[in-house]
Copies of this chain bind each other. A is one copy, B any other.
Amino acid sequence: MADEAAVRQQAEVVRRLKQDKAEPDEIAKEVAKLLEMKAHLGGDEGKHKFVLKTPKGTRDYGPKQMAIRERVFSAIIACFKRHGAEVIDTPVFELKETLTGKYGEDSKLIYDLKDQGGELLSLRYDLTVPFARYLAMNKITNIKRYHIAKVYRRDNPAMTRGRYREFYQCDFDIAGQFDPMIPDAECLKIVQEILSDLQLGDFLIKMPWEEVRNEMVGEKGLSPEAADRIGEYVQLHGGMDLIEQLLQDPKLSQNKLAKEGLGDMKLLFEYLTLFGITGKISFDLSLARGLDYYTGVIYEAVLLQQENDHGEESVSVGSVAGGGRYDGLVGMFDPKGRKVPCVGISIGIERIFSILEQRVEASEEKIRTTETQVLVASAQKKLLEERLKLISELWDAGIKAEVLYKKNPKLLNQLQYCEDTGIPLVAIVGEQELKDGVVKLRVVATREEVNIRRESLVEEIRRRTNQL
């Protein structure tokens, strides 16, 4: 039995002969040998020592997972489009130096490509740095865009909780110099819309008090004591009332910078009130984000509680979205250091997939993985040609149709296929129907059968599958 190495060797022989423009028959002889070896490769005689797996921290998506994934994406994309976003895409890898110095100690989690000559490359770690590189490179100072793509982190995977080494990010960002806090408020509105739309249960968008405090003490010149006093309030309340109270605090209102900072927060909460989502927003003392590039208020959306099928509380999935302001990042790429203020959000889609997959599994909901409207079938033998002719007509009319790849399939098997895959209609051709110029249309769910004139079939299928 031929092994792979031998096949490769034989393939090389063929290539050389072709290269050397050898006698056609000599080539043909060696090609025949190659084909023979290929045909036997993987035959029952030989066992292979392949490790049959995907790389650590990655997974395949089968048709069922893809159906769930596409549902989630379409909800997210619909929201991004509702907010007027354009869409861009960037390469999966960047020059290594593009990513250098953007991720702090997380940099050690970046995947590098092997040096095979030429440029040194790394897989993207997020979509934010490539976005900033794109803006600087194309001198774009003003854009609202989304980007949905996979990113790569050599992290410790915890796949049951949706933590992978290859995972999707769904990012929405607004770049440009605008009046304060309007784009920031829209980002929070988007998080709220998406999480509500996906019906993931209660959630809260938390702003980390620690960062706000540090900003007040560090940048705004507030005394640590004053900041901590504010912190006590914050832990208790967290919203518009609080900000109002703080602004009336004589110590704070005397400090111009602190007043400005609080003014921005007040503005943000005013806009969030207009959007009707302040109930979903709160400060949090425990939150801290690792990435170096954030410059202003950052936030994170967490699901409050996740109940499983038996009413018991299951492990909290935690953060499902995060974002913030990164006004300095684009300037790091611009040759003249020109800044483009940016604010954005990133939806942590893998955790959402995990939740929805578990939910579907628990509910025994039957998920269709195709959209086929009709199976073209026959009750008698020798009708393959008629089936192919009919299905060709249907395809050309835009009907989603399938046919079994057998010359003479049993009707029972054809109906069973519809049951298994959820195809709602069967178009049955038989000798009598052909004579009469009709097709028998069967509704799988009700077993109802009705003869339809062939020229009306397309319209009838559309009508019955609500595609008119």
Task: List the interface of chain A (C-beta within 8 A of B).
Answer: 4-5, 7-8, 11-12, 15, 18, 24-25, 27-29, 31-33, 35-36, 38-39, 41-48, 50-56, 58-63, 66, 69-70, 81-95, 97-98, 100-101, 104-105, 111-116, 118-119, 121, 123, 133-134, 136-138, 143, 145, 150, 152, 154, 166, 174, 176, 178-179, 182-183, 185-186, 189, 193, 213-215, 217-219, 224, 227-228, 270-271, 274-276, 288, 292-293, 295, 327-339, 369-372, 384-385, 388-389, 392, 395-396, 398-403, 405-407
Q: How far is the CA of A384 from the CA of B185 in the complex (A)?
A: 13
CB distance from A299 to the nearest CB of B (A): 17
Cβ of A150: which chain B residues have Cβ within 8 Å of it?
A: 92
Given contacts A5-B101, A50-B97, A111-B113, 5 further A-B contacts (CB under 8 A): A11-B105, A38-B295, A50-B332, A82-B398, A274-B388
CB distance from A111 to the nearest CB of B (A): 6
Return 5 A-B CB contacts under 8 Å, by A number: A8-B101, A52-B133, A52-B137, A182-B407, A271-B388
Give the secondary structure class of A's interface: mixed
Q: Given A24-B224, A87-B63, A176-B405, A218–B35 Cβ distance below 8 Å?
A: yes
Cβ of A47: which chain B residues have Cβ within 8 Å of it?
A: 335-337
Cβ of A35: which chain B residues have Cβ within 8 Å of it?
A: 214-215, 218-219, 295
Query: Would B395 and A82 count as touching, CB distance under 8 A?
Result: yes
Contact of A114 among B43, B97, B113, B331 (CB under 8 A): B113
Query: Would A31 and B179 count as touching, CB distance under 8 A?
Result: no
Q: Which 10 A-B pairs have the closest CB atoms?
A: A32-B218, A42-B331, A178-B405, A63-B86, A84-B402, A58-B91, A112-B114, A61-B89, A31-B214, A84-B372
Query: Would B371 and A81 count as touching, CB distance under 8 A?
Result: yes
Query: Would B116 and A87 count as touching, CB distance under 8 A?
Result: no
